[in-house]
């Protein structure tokens, strides 16, 4: 897996519009909001429930292949860009890192899992391979802003080295209480944030769903 770009293997070959097939089966009272924001989602191996969660926040979602250029994304006039989860080593996915650098500051960005790792690299940080990886649905993650602990789902083998990030530019927002690995970051001046874990999953069961609301709020403020 080291040195292997798997995102380009598993990504969609063609751009498409995602439409939710209804509310979360685990939350049948959920209301799917009428879309009034447009999100471009990079598919590095994206999960359907992430797309459904974006829909639930009133986002029309266009999914694009992993190697879609930043210029082509901006031409679609997004209100925000989402960077998905996916397999493999983030370091060789250099085209994604380049696109993130070109998009940063021009549109709000939210990344999950591989998307988080790619953001870390794009901001000048480094990643490393975990000895055993993080897998399962019972990882306690602390949100540094609130002090609250979220029970989260993990499925990754790489992590961002927090010491490699510039603290004057990047705020460390979440930490894994099992081993103190970095689980979330936010840029101090640009509309950009990410988490390593999977907030669309339901181990808490809904401890981390607020992140999708945070993304919507960021887009509203940027648009407003």
Q: Catalytic site residues?
A: 113, 198, 200
Q: Are 176 and 183 in contact (CB under 8 A)?
A: yes
Show the 3-state SS of the chain: CCCCCCHHHHCCCCCEEECCCCCCCCCCCCCCCCCCEEEEEEECCCCHHHHHHHHHCCEEEEEEECCCCHHHHHHCCCCEEEECCCCCCCCCCHHHHHHHHHHECCECEEEECHHHHHHHHHCCCCEEEEEEEEEEEEEEEEECCCCCEEEEEEEEEEEECHHHCCCCCEEEEEEECCCCCEEEEEECCCCEEEECCCCCCCCCCCCCCHHHHHHHHHHHHHHC
CB proximity list for 65: less than 8 A, separation 6 or greater? 11, 12, 13, 14, 15, 43
Q: Are 183 and 208 in contact (CB under 8 A)?
A: no
């Amino acid at each position: 897996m080291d040195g292997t770009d798997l995102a380009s293997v598993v990504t969609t070959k063609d751009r498409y519009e995602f439409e939710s097939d209804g509310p979360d089966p685990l939350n049948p009272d959920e209301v799917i909001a009428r879309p009034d924001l447009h999100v471009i989602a990079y598919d590095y191996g994206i999960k359907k429930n992430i797309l459904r969660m974006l829909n639930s926040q009133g986002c029309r979602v266009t999914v694009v292949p992993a190697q879609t250029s930043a210029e082509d994304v901006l031409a679609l006039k997004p209100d925000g860009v989402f960077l998905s989860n996916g397999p493999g080593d983030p370091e060789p996915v250099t085209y994604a890192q380049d696109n993130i650098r070109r998009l940063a500051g021009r549109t709000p960005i939210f990344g999950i899992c591989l998307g988080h790792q790619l953001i870390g690299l794009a901001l000048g940080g480094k990643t490393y391979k975990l000895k055993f990886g993080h897998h399962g649905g019972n990882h306690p993650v602390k949100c540094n802003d609130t002090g609250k602990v979220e029970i989260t789902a993990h499925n990754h083998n790489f992590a961002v080295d927090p010491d490699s990030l510039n603290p004057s530019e990047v705020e460390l927002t979440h930490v894994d209480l099992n081993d103190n690995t970095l689980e979330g970051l936010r840029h101090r001046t640009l509309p950009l944030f990410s988490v390593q874990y999977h907030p669309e999953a339901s181990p808490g069961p809904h401890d981390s769903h607020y992140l999708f609301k945070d993304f919507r709020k960021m887009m509203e403020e940027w648009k407003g």
